[in-house]
Structure 1
Amino acid sequence: MKTTENFTDKAEIYAQYRPSYPNEYIDYLLSANQLKGEQIVADIGSGTGILSRQLLEKGMNVIGVEPNDDMRKMAEESLSIHSRFKSIKGTAENTTLKGNSVDLVTVAQAFHWFDKKAFKIECQRIVRQKANVALVWNSRDLTSPIIQENAEICQRTCSNFKGFSGGMEETQDVFNSFFKDGKYEFKKYQNDLVFDYKGFLGRNLSASYAPKKHEKKYKEFVYLLSELFEKYSNNGKMVLQNITRSYLGNV
């Protein structure tokens, strides 16, 4: 299966349970890139439009580029109230955008799916002179016992699990080779998430590697997650330690 199809049939649960990004991060993006309302942000691998929405709410013009039909349709429906939003079916490696046309490229929770070299070339083509590329993830804090046990459950029941965020937490060489001369600005924000049981389960089921209802390991996956929630929750709530990681620079 192509990676562009990894979230087929998961758009609704993804949109419902995936977290947004800290307001502090959004403000940083706008100030660090000196963005004003008339400028254009290309949100590549925009999915259901989580980051796109936050940028639109700040008055940006946003082009969402998303290859997955289910995810893109969800974004188009939820963001239809924003006249500044444009949706395009395209890939990271072939966005179909005009050359030298965007003032910032953003990639939220998606860079680990891309062909890095081809995407870098595409970014160089579409950005205006000196415009940046911003890569961002909401990442689980791997030092947390809850997160460690969550990972063990995924390793046991999810055949395609390669680590949270595709294992991108520990591969700094990827960023060094992607950004021009290996130079980028790294920012980290604490963004802890509070879930009830339904939300915790939904967050896990929204992952690309999570088994779907008809698959063999689905019931075991849900059962083990239920046990984990029971172990660590307090008054029906669980806090998941989450870090927003940002990488910003020229390519």
Structure 2
Amino acid sequence: MAGLQKLQGFSAAGLVLVVDPLLVDRDFLVETKTRGVSQVIIPLDIAGKQLFKHYHRTSGGDLWATYWETLKEAVAVFGGRKVTVNLFAGLGETEEEFLSVVQMIDDAGAETNIFSVRENKALGIKPCSIGKYRRLQMGRYLIHRQLATMRQMQFNEFGSVFEFGIHPNKLMELLELGIPFHETGGSLKNWPGHDNSCGGTRNYHQPLAADEAQQAKKEFFSVNWEEEWKLAAKKCQREGVDFRDIDVSYDFKLLGFIPGITEEDLRYLKSSK
């Protein structure tokens, strides 16, 4: 591989390597480790196979599978917890979809870095609400610290977490200390999407002060209902539900998978496509 030739005579002692799964193989990973690379980052970026395909729009091979194969190879070469995966929050995924990928990453022996997308009007993208971001940080912390699994968590009809799989007292203890919101900082504090350039303080790069922890706790419990409905609409769209073909008076029963939905809600879902 050409990449191996470029490594000749090069020392990477102590470096963290961001790899492109399309350009590296196991031999490359082994060589970089022998030259001193201590950690590997996989820029998966997108939480969910359908969303991944939507944004990459590639027709050649299964790119999603390629990323996961590289992740497994990297863990095999560098060892557990020496590989991290970057994921951006706010690309249209639900909390359930995001945390299911975090769980897959943990099951593979790696960890997750959470980033926040910046607003992109051309693509119709804007940062997710701070409440959603805080819940994703909490879920990530619990999964990677082996305090709960995604399968122990419970999600509502919008795919949002309402039960984190741990005792309420433990959850409140973590919120009071703000630990899960500090854990997602680390050495990435200057990276776009991790540098708090998306509005407010999303990633704390130092242990939280008491007032910061209280603010993060308040944010954790906040819900943006407009965002919830729009995400539900986008998820239904990805799954092939065409609301334009639904006659509210006759086909309303087709929406039974969203308990409590009203005709007004249905019109909102249709208009938000």
* Same fold by TM-score greater than 0.5: no
TM-score (norm 2): 0.30
Larger Rg: 2
TM-score (norm 1): 0.31
- Larger relative helix fraction: 2
